[in-house]
Structure 1
Amino acid sequence: MAHAAVVSLIHTLEQTLQHPNLHLNPFKQQEIDCLFKKLNSLLDFLEEYSQNSSEHVLSVEIKIRDAAYCAEDVIESHICNTVLSQSGSYGQESSSQHPLPVLPISDSDPHTDFQKIIKEFDSIMEEVVKVADLQKKITEIDTLVEDSSKITEAIGQSGHFLPSRPEPSGQSNTVGFEEDLKQVRDRLCNGSSGLQIIPIVGMGGIGKTTLARNVYDDSYVAYHFHIRAWVTLSPRYHRRELFLSLLDHLVLLTAEIRKESDEKLADRLYKNLKGKRYLIVIDDIWSITAWDSMKFLFPNDNNGSRIIVTTRITDVAGHASLSTNHHQMCFLNEEQSWNLFREKLFGQEKCPHELEDIGRTIAKNCHGLPLSIVLITGLLSNVGKARDEWEHVAKNLSSLIAEKDGQCSEILNLSFKHLPTHLKACFLYMGVFPENYEIPVSRLIKLWVAEGFLKPKKPKNLDKVAEECLMELISRNLILVRRKGSDGKIKSCGIHNLLRELCMRIAHKENFFCVKSKYPHFVPEEATFMRRLSIHDDASYSPSEEDVTVQSMSRVRSFIYTGWDETQLHSYYYFGCLLLRVLDMVGLELTKFPDEILQLVNLRYIAITCLCKIPPAITLLRNLQTLIVEDPCGIAIELPDEIFNMPQLRHIKISLASLPPVFSIPFPDSDKHFVLENLETLSMVQDLGMTKHVLEKMPNVKKMGIHYNTILWHVYDVHLQKLETLKIVFDSPTNSTFLRSITSAPRLKKITLERGRIGWEDMTIFGSLPNLEALKLHEFAFIGQVWVPIDGEFPKLKFLHIWETDLEHWRADKTHFPSLEHLILWKCSKLVEIPTCIGEIDTLEIIEIDYSSFSVVKSAKDILNDQQNQGNEGLQVIFRPTKARITPLKFGVIQSLILYFFMLLKPLDASGLTLMNLPTVVAR
């Protein structure tokens, strides 16, 4: 994690220089510039040798990482001292029962400490130069050895031998792969006569090689092809070894052939394939470059030849097969998992009845990964058939597999080892979340940015860099897509439990983060807190004095708490983490905004749940980028006008925010507040007036949410040039004049409206937006009996969701929505039908409806039948139960308890409704 540590240190130095209050910087410009130069040189070294696993490189990487961590501690501690002392907050007592933490370093001279940092990096730079020179010499020697192997036999005097050929012998287990086998075999033996590349893609251990081997050994496939050859690549394969390995299937490799040059070997291979219908399996290819270096070997004689490529990387598959689709391996379902589990453990015998339920649980907890199932059955075959042993395995499945099976660790470790250096920290970070956790992508990206380990790529901002990293990890089948939004973007993601276990183990070894939970992953003496600390929501876990010490907590940069017990949290507060950057404890409800947070002047990310107003002293948090505050009771949270003194803010996300008078009254002093140039998200804001002076304070906002209790009639026609996503919730009807001002942003792609009670004739306001792709209309957002769209509107609209309306007649045809892909109609009880012509839209893929209108159901079925009769098999019609829209209660915890108390006094009302069958009314 040396790369992430150095990038993080560079971010820290940049933020120090960029802060407008330069007097808060205790270091000299020339000192910082000198350190910048050294750090950039170290980054170049780390990126060049990111795939090098030699002992010398690993040793210097550890030194770079530790030096960067130490430098960051010293620099941020001095800045913290300076900010708190000048603000008058240093040494003050907290109003809570827990004393404020103590700074982790002594009051030493900042310049002396900085010179020590530079001296340490000077020493490391000298060692880096020596290691780089050594690696160049090793590379030269390797090249000479490789050249010498061209004139000696592969087996003999040189000691250089051909890698063993892993040609399949006998079929492997096909449980769960039957349909995959059929599909791939059909693609091999049928279809176009031209050469086709068929990639098989999926995460490590999902069964790519097993499927390829079963297809390769299939008797019909063997009969169909004249020649078959199989080669398994390593991530660092040599072209010569590839040539010889393939030729070994085709000709008798003599000593003379082994002496030939690479060019002659390649030509011999090509000629032996020429004119023959061949099947080549290239197992486990890791890069586009690797494919490009070999694709010229395979002639295309239009005779039905095929190449199977297995890979973990979707981008490699896409590059190799530009004209054909890849075969994506899916996880097994529960029944397939159980069948594989049972067959591996019991063969043809039945599972003992008393073990079947716990056995099914174990199989289910493997989450569809065949590798997990195969390995866990091997483990269970050694522990016997005692139920308590099986229950222990069920509770500790992932950790047991990782601990006791070297093969599993080796397979999964390859995926991490061969990640580009800039992706390693992003991947490891997935381990801070609990098992089976669905991670909102917006939250993950904000956390990655706040952590500081993303290297900037100008002119892109860090959010875009984070999105690209996420997509790369998804392409490598390391991160799983859980849900997509109406705009097609990924809303949430996750990670398989075995990969998560891998993340935690590597992260612990690298001092990257530590996880605390009911089930310890490491022995107590190793479980020291590291740069990042994640506390999971195990109810029985409580930190002990051995767990928490000043030394263990003083260097923590991130505190991610998914628990619910405030007493646990106070134990950590007591010892303090004054150098925190990330504080995420949104799962815990607090009664007030904690004073302790205001001492954490290095914070970049806050996510909390509390009944509170944000104090003016929040301006002490000079580097804050993201502020997330949730209120479980739906009461507006008051923001201070000092919020405009925080120019680093990028995202303000409040469940419902009450803005200060500064938003409605022009500033008397234009220099009093900064323009929030970096602000991209502002949601949800109560009664935001879209006036000129307000919009000038946030010119680059991209995502905005507004809740209106009142109607603001006087508005300015001011364009939000960067606005892409807009959500407006009305408590009373609005007018078209107001809407015309709101929707004048030229880049708007997604709009959500609730309870506006707007007439359908005003829909033309939205239809005229040139880039609108998604439109959600909830709870009588529009009202009226008839909607007649106008030609030329909604040119790019892909997603339309209408949830609850009194609309009766929708007079539309396919020209009104030329790009529509997904239509959802819920609680449209008065709607007579879906326009028949909607089914004729070429891009339409899904119509989703409930049963609130049987005539709409009938029209949807008619549209589907009509399209199927015309040969359109791509359209889906999905029928769902009628949904009730649930909103949070508008009263607090105390009021809820009072209500419940009165219900207890009268458990049965006149209608016979009892407490046992009361519906759930609170969405959490």
Structure 2
Amino acid sequence: MKCCLLYCCLYPEDYTIPKSRLVEYWFCEGLLNEFDRISEAQMQGDHIINSLIYACLLERAEESFDGEERVKMHDVIRDMGLWIACELEEKEKSFFVKAGAQLLEEPDVKAWEGAKRMSMMHNQIKVMRGTPKCPNLRTLFLSRNKFQAINDGFFQFTPQLTVLDLSRNSKLYALPKGISELISLECLDLSETGITELPMEMTSLTKLKMLDLSYMEHLERIPQNLISSFSKMQIFRLGDLPISDYHEEDNVLDWDNDNERLIEELKSLQHLNILRIPEIQNMSALQSFLSHHLFRCSTEQLELRDFRETNVFNVLCLENMERLEILRIGGCGNMEEMKMDKLHTRGSPSTNYTSGFHTLREVRISSCYKLKDVTWLFLAPNLRYLAIWHCSEMEEILSEGRLRDVADEVGIPYPTPFLNLQTLSLRELPELKSIYWDALPFPCLKRIYIEDCPKLKKFPLNSDSAKGNHITIKGERDWWEQLEWENEATRNAFLPSFQAY
């Protein structure tokens, strides 16, 4: 537990650390040595974090707008941790931390050649010119800099490097050739970098367990047979890529064929536990994807876009996705209904409506112009973030009639919706009249954003809703002044919450 605590000192002062990413780094570092699989190690990691919070060594930070849980370290605890890591263990010089130090250039390599863990994240460094000799270096955080280049020989003498975080360096367009030297690397985070292609030399990274390629707006090429060479891969994230016309036979990114080559290579990763893939663009591709047990069990984020041929979408085809946390549906201009077909077949006095979507925490639906409601969301009890934008025929979020039909079919009452919702964002829904027909408790609600919803005259709020929460409600002033409230007490209760756009 001491090593896990000191690991948090690698982050800058007051930095809010995503819990899931922290646990994944611990796992790749071997700090969670009870388990070989990340899905099991996450439980141990959560236990350690909760223990550190209980001991007041970590604090719960405010969750991000999308509901991702975060922690942070108090400045005094961080200073103490760095003192322990850097001073008491001075002989080993195991930690070198210059996170958030406003560095413009890399420090003298002599100062950190003996380090085991090093962080220079959150600085202004543009070029890494050195060729450090760091035989003991296991952890290197270089995220949130302004890198434009890294010397090809930079990794030549870092044979033990296990975790490398280069994320959020948007001007870094190419990996150094020396990346192939990192034969011990288990975790590589390239998210939000400007890298345009992955070099085939990465096949030498045979121990890689985690590869994050999220939000890489310039990534156009991944060589064929590269992904499948990572036989130990457990965490693979790839999404929010540019739609490119860069076509080559040996490139697994092939939009014209629904990235079939990529999917085929992913099938060979038998240890996969956490998966995020680029958007799926038609129903047949989705059905093919869901036909593989490995993908149903490991996918944490799914984006469905431009389902032009689909008028009715049975959302229950997704209910067996055991890890699904984020669902985005967009550009499905012909989709008129998201139905819950065959929900009644599960009905019995002991049925739990929500068993199928209990992991879902974020839903975004946009540009589904014919969709009239999203009543199925009552099946997601742990939903924290909901955004519905540009759905011109949307009339209700949850339909009273459809919910009553479901209750009649199943034979038990439906649960109270939105008990964990923190953020609600509704934009350009000109026909929207109702979110829910009755007041809801909203015990976790923090933020409401309403824009261009002129027919939405009532909120499902009363004076007891969101009690004890500091809520922000943003919208147009004209819309706010025309809202109808249950009573004057409710209006007065939420009046301080309003902020005009």
- Above 0.5 in TM-score? yes
Whole-Å separation in 1 of the counterparts to 2:470 and 2:13:
34
Residue 98 of structure 2 contacts residue 121 of structure 2 at CA under 8 Å; is this kept in 1? Answer: yes
**Alpha-carbon offset, residue 560 of structure 1:** 0.9
Matches within 5 A, 1:377-392: none
Residue 337 of structure 2 contacts residue 371 of structure 2 at CA under 8 Å; is this kept in 1? Answer: no
**Alpha-carbon offset, residue 577 of structure 1:** 1.9
**Alpha-carbon offset, residue 824 of structure 1:** 1.2
Matches within 5 A, 1:538-687: 538-539=101-102, 549=110, 553-562=112-121, 564-566=123-125, 569-570=128-129, 573-592=130-149, 594-599=151-156, 600-608=158-166, 609=169, 610-614=171-175, 618-631=179-192, 637-640=196-199, 643=202, 646-654=205-213, 655-656=215-216, 657-660=219-222, 662=224, 674=229, 676-684=231-239, 686=241, 687=255
**Alpha-carbon offset, residue 733 of structure 1:** 5.3
User: Which of the pair is proportionally richer in helix?
Assistant: 1
Q: Give the counterpart of 1:852 among 446, 451, 468.
A: 451
Residue 228 of structure 2 contacts residue 266 of structure 2 at CA under 8 Å; is this kept in 1? Answer: no
Residue 864 of structure 1 contacts residue 877 of structure 1 at CA under 8 Å; is this kept in 2? Answer: no
Report whether the alignment pairs 1:783 with 2:340: no
Aligned letter for 1:746? M
Superposed CA offset, 1:677-719 (max 9, x none):
4322323264563576333223444443344497696562323
Q: Give the counterpart of 2:6 among 428, 434, 444.
A: 428
Aligned letter for 2:399? A
Structure 2 residue matching 1:826: 3-state secondary structure:
strand
Superposed CA offset, 1:331-356 (max 9, x none):
xxxxxxxxxxxxxxxxxxxxxxxxxx
Q: Which residue does the alignment assign to 1:889?
A: none
Aligned letter for 1:696? K
Residue 556 of structure 1 contacts residue 579 of structure 1 at CA under 8 Å; is this kept in 2? Answer: yes
Whole-Å separation in 1 of the counterparts to 2:202 and 2:126:
30
Matches within 5 A, 1:460-609: 461-484=40-63, 490=69, 492-511=70-89, 530-539=93-102, 549=110, 553-562=112-121, 564-566=123-125, 569-570=128-129, 573-592=130-149, 594-599=151-156, 600-608=158-166, 609=169
Whole-Å separation in 2 of the counterparts to 1:872 and 1:741:
30
Superposed CA offset, 1:134-158 (max 9, x none):
xxxxxxxxxxxxxxxxxxxxxxxxx
Whole-Å separation in 2 of the counterparts to 1:471 and 1:881:
34
**Alpha-carbon offset, residue 826 of structure 1:** 2.5
Q: Which residue does the alignment assign to 2:23?
A: 445
Structure 2 residue matching 1:722: 3-state secondary structure:
helix
Residue 367 of structure 2 contacts residue 390 of structure 2 at CA under 8 Å; is this kept in 1? Answer: yes
Q: Which residue does the alignment assign to 1:794?
A: 379
Structure 1 residue matching 2:457: 3-state secondary structure:
helix
Question: Structure 1 637/679 Cα, relative in aligned 2: closer, same or farther at 3 Å?
Answer: farther
Whole-Å separation in 1 of the counterparts to 2:390 and 2:101:
43
Question: Structure 1 606/877 Cα, relative in aligned 2: closer, same or farther at 3 Å?
Answer: closer
Residue 98 of structure 2 contacts residue 119 of structure 2 at CA under 8 Å; is this kept in 1? Answer: yes
**Alpha-carbon offset, residue 878 of structure 1:** 4.0
Q: Which residue does the alignment assign to 2:390?
A: 805
Whole-Å separation in 1 of the counterparts to 2:187 and 2:46:
17
Give unpaired runs (5+ residues) of structure 2: 242-254, 344-354, 407-413, 477-501
RMSD: 4.3
Q: Which residue does the alignment assign to 1:820?
A: 418
Q: Which residue does the alignment assign to 1:698?
A: 269
| Matched residues, number | 421
Whole-Å separation in 1 of the counterparts to 2:434 and 2:102:
50
Matches within 5 A, 1:827-846: 827-837=427-437, 839=439, 845-846=444-445
Structure 2 residue matching 1:427: 3-state secondary structure:
helix
Q: Which residue does the alignment assign to 2:461?
A: 864
Residue 851 of structure 1 contacts residue 879 of structure 1 at CA under 8 Å; is this kept in 2? Answer: no
Aligned letter for 1:498? V
**Alpha-carbon offset, residue 605 of structure 1:** 1.3
Whole-Å separation in 1 of the counterparts to 2:317 and 2:231:
20
Structure 2 residue matching 1:465: 3-state secondary structure:
helix
Question: Structure 1 711/721 Cα, relative in aligned 2: closer, same or farther at 3 Å?
Answer: closer
**Alpha-carbon offset, residue 442 of structure 1:** 3.5
**Alpha-carbon offset, residue 538 of structure 1:** 3.2
Whole-Å separation in 1 of the counterparts to 2:36 and 2:29:
19
Q: Which residue does the alignment assign to 1:174?
A: none
Structure 1 residue matching 2:9: 3-state secondary structure:
helix
Q: Which residue does the alignment assign to 1:41?
A: none
Aligned letter for 1:750? E
Structure 1 residue matching 2:357: 3-state secondary structure:
coil
Whole-Å separation in 2 of the counterparts to 1:588 and 1:441:
22
Whole-Å separation in 1 of the counterparts to 2:380 and 2:316:
21
Report whether the alignment pairs 1:880 with 2:473: yes
Aligned letter for 2:432? V
Aligned letter for 2:259? G
Whole-Å separation in 1 of the counterparts to 2:297 and 2:117:
31
**Alpha-carbon offset, residue 476 of structure 1:** 1.6
Whole-Å separation in 2 of the counterparts to 1:594 and 1:742:
48
**Alpha-carbon offset, residue 503 of structure 1:** 1.4
Whole-Å separation in 2 of the counterparts to 1:846 and 1:828:
21
Matches within 5 A, 1:2-21: none
**Alpha-carbon offset, residue 569 of structure 1:** 4.8
The higher radius of gyration belongs to 1
Structure 1 residue matching 2:144: 3-state secondary structure:
strand
Residue 777 of structure 1 contacts residue 801 of structure 1 at CA under 8 Å; is this kept in 2? Answer: yes
Whole-Å separation in 1 of the counterparts to 2:150 and 2:341:
40
Structure 2 residue matching 1:500: 3-state secondary structure:
helix
Aligned letter for 2:418? L
Question: Structure 1 882/796 Cα, relative in aligned 2: closer, same or farther at 3 Å?
Answer: same
Whole-Å separation in 2 of the counterparts to 1:849 and 1:756:
24
Q: Give the counterpart of 1:750 among 304, 325, 332.
A: 325
Whole-Å separation in 1 of the counterparts to 2:384 and 2:342:
13
Whole-Å separation in 2 of the counterparts to 1:827 and 1:679:
37
**Identical amino acids, percent of aligned pairs:** 14
Structure 1 residue matching 2:301: 3-state secondary structure:
strand
**Alpha-carbon offset, residue 473 of structure 1:** 0.4
Give unpaired runs (5+ residues) of structure 1: 1-422, 513-527, 884-924
**Alpha-carbon offset, residue 859 of structure 1:** 0.8
**Alpha-carbon offset, residue 500 of structure 1:** 1.7
Whole-Å separation in 2 of the counterparts to 1:642 and 1:467:
35
**Alpha-carbon offset, residue 530 of structure 1:** 1.0
Aligned letter for 1:859? K
